[in-house]
Amino acid sequence: MKLVPFLDHSCLTVALSGRLDSGTAPMLRAVLDEPPSGVTELVLDFDGLTYVSSAGLRILLSAQKKMSDCGGRLRIRNVCRDIVDIFETTGFDRLLAFEKKRRQLSVEGLERIGRGANGECYKVDEETVLKLYYEYIDEACVAREKDLARKAFLAGVPTAISFDVVACGNRKGVLYELLKAETLARYIEKNVHRLEEVTDMYVGLCRRLHSIEASRETFPDAVELACGYIDACDVFNDAQRAAVRDLLLRAERKNTLIHWDLHPGNIMMQGDEPCLIDMGDVAIGTPFFDLGQIKQVLYYYARMGLCHRIIGLNDEIAPRVWQLFIGKYLGHPAPDEFAALDGKINFFRAVKNVFLYLSGSGGEAMRSRRRDFIFEMLPPEIAALK
Ligand SMILES: Nc1ncnc2c1ncn2[C@@H]1O[C@H](COP(=O)(O)OP(=O)(O)O)[C@@H](O)[C@H]1O
Ligand SMILES: [Mg+2]
């Protein structure tokens, strides 16, 4: 085994190659037993490592314990398939924080076929698209989106097959089935003369998703996620935070799926067949989570002149789609009933904006706008709480 340590401030990286077994484990132990003082992060780069024995596993565990005892952490990077198998069979995959070694891809010469809030999409070949995330989006987040897409597909949601997480320089990506399709946003623009009919398709897809029952063991619960965001959000005082949480917990609980970013830029039309993409926020919860975000995009972003820029749908057409959509989705309720439901939609819009505010989506300028949105959309008695 070869071992190359590299110290950068408080982070000690040790690159390993060869085999980590009873013969070579003492070498690693010698380095880990006496790390330079002030090291709070230990990274073991397994790029060149092909095997780990039980003696090697014991050292990894003791290194992890040592780091956590001193308030630091151990991360293991670039773990090859064979070693992942060893981690999984021994149960060490649940004890150690590690990242798998990813296939490296280059986008040089590839056609860019789309761009969204999280990165760009490239055509790899006739069957495959690479969704390449911005560098600041970490691997766990990328892997989660891939995983949710797979689970949703298995649950019966029409969506692209997700293949594998790959690396592209410092960025991570996911390979998806290439849908021979255009976005619903584009499809609406082209078929604006039959907006009623196209909106029916949109409503149909949303209803279909919202009728798929799923388990909380498989998908996250939107209310739990949202409570976490509300707790972490600094725009509220304590009384407002408690009231928002309370309202959320009193809203109906559903065991059906939501997409949570269900705008026409995340729906692909294969001919007349709609299919969902961008599955990173899929969860279980009331459809009002989705309705809130759809209104945000089609109605409010359009009013701000941002709908076309963000999802590729004309800013004059989008609010017309919203009016038609919501009437149809809710089954054309009487005006007073509609007003009550619209209040509920606005509340869920506020909740989504709490999440978007925290994630920094849209940059600094948008961040302060989101703060205003949140208070405009909350029931006035909650916004007024001191
Ligand atoms: N599986 C796919 N097949 C074809 N085009 C896709 C696929 N996935 C994404 N795209 C294109 O890339 C764009 C951005 O993808 P999306 O997953 O929505 O990214 P973001 O999370 O950045 O919004 C889409 O609007 C679409 O045009
Ligand atoms: Mg998208």
Give pLDDT tens digits for 332-386: 999 999 999 999 999 999 999 999 999 887 778 888 889 998 999 999 999 999 9
∠ CA 298-220-134, nearest 5°, is 60
Nearest protein Cα to ligand 1, atom 9: 121
Residue-level pLDDT at 343: 95
Q: Is 129 in the pocket of ligand 1 (CB under 6 A)?
A: yes
Residue-level pLDDT at 272: 87
8 pLDDT more than 90: no
**Mutate which of 110, 112, 121 to test ligand 1's pocket (most atoms within 8 Å of Cβ)?**
121
The domain made up of 111-177 has a fold known as: Phosphorylase Kinase; domain 1 (3.30.200)
Q: Which atom of ligand 1 is nearest to the CA of 133?
A: 22
111 CA distance to ligand 2 middle (Å): 18
35 pLDDT more than 80: no
- Average the pLDDT over 60-80 and give the result: 91
The pocket of ion ligand 2, defined by CB under 5 A, consists of 116, 266, 278
Residue-level pLDDT at 33: 81
142 pLDDT more than 80: yes
> Please, are residues 43 and 11 in contact by the beta-carbon 8 Å criterion?
yes
pLDDT tens, residue by residue, 146-188: 999 999 999 999 999 999 899 998 899 999 999 999 999 999 9
123 pLDDT more than 80: yes
Q: Is 158 in the pocket of ligand 1 (CB under 6 A)?
A: no
- Average the pLDDT over 288-310 and give the result: 96
> Distance between alpha carbon 327 and the CA centroid of its chain, in Å?
29
Three state DSSP letters for the chain:
CEEEEEEECCEEEEEEEEEECCCCHHHHHHHHHCCCCCCCEEEEEEEEEEEECHHHHHHHHHHHHHHHHCCCEEEEEEECHHHHHHHHHHCHHHCCCEEECCEECCCCCCEEEEECCCEEEEECCCCEEEEEECCCCCHHHHHHHHHHHHHHHHCCCCECCEEEEEEECCEEEEEEECCCCEEHHHHHHHCHHHHHHHHHHHHHHHHHHHCCECCCCCCCEHHHHHHHHHHHCCCCCHHHHHHHHHHHHHCCCCCEEECCCCCCCCEEEECCEEEECCCCCCEECCCHHHHHHHHHHHHHHHHCCCHHHHHCCCCCHHHHHHHHHHHHHHCCCCHHHHHHHHHHHHHHHHHHHHHHHHHCCCHHHHHHHHHHHHHHHCCHHHHCCC
The mean pLDDT value of the chain amounts to 94
Q: Is 266 in the pocket of ligand 1 (CB under 6 A)?
A: yes
Q: Is 278 in the pocket of ligand 1 (CB under 6 A)?
A: yes
Q: For the chain, what are the domain ranges?
A: 2-100, 111-177, 182-383
pLDDT tens, residue by residue, 124-139: 999 999 999 999 888 8
Structural tokens at position 285: 């919860």
Backbone angles phi, psi at 249, to 5 degrees: -70, -20
Residue-level pLDDT at 117: 81
116 CA distance to ligand 2 middle (Å): 5
The domain made up of 2-100 has a fold known as: Transcription Regulator spoIIAA (3.30.750)
The domain made up of 182-383 has a fold known as: Aminoglycoside 3'-phosphotransferase; Chain: A, domain 2 (3.90.1200)
pLDDT tens, residue by residue, 236-265: 999 999 999 999 999 999 999 999 999 999
> Please, are residues 99 and 137 in contact by the beta-carbon 8 Å criterion?
no
Q: Which atom of ligand 1 is nearest to the CA of 121?
A: 12
Nearest protein Cα to ligand 1, atom 13: 114
Residue-level pLDDT at 138: 84
Report percent pLDDT > 90 for the chain. Answer: 82
190 pLDDT more than 80: yes
- Average the pLDDT over 314-331 and give the result: 98
262 CA distance to ligand 2 middle (Å): 9
Residue-level pLDDT at 197: 97
49 pLDDT more than 90: yes
Residue-level pLDDT at 362: 77
End-to-end CA distance of the chain: 63
- Average the pLDDT over 24-39 and give the result: 86
Q: Which atom of ligand 1 is nearest to the CA of 266?
A: 18
- Average the pLDDT over 38-46 and give the result: 92
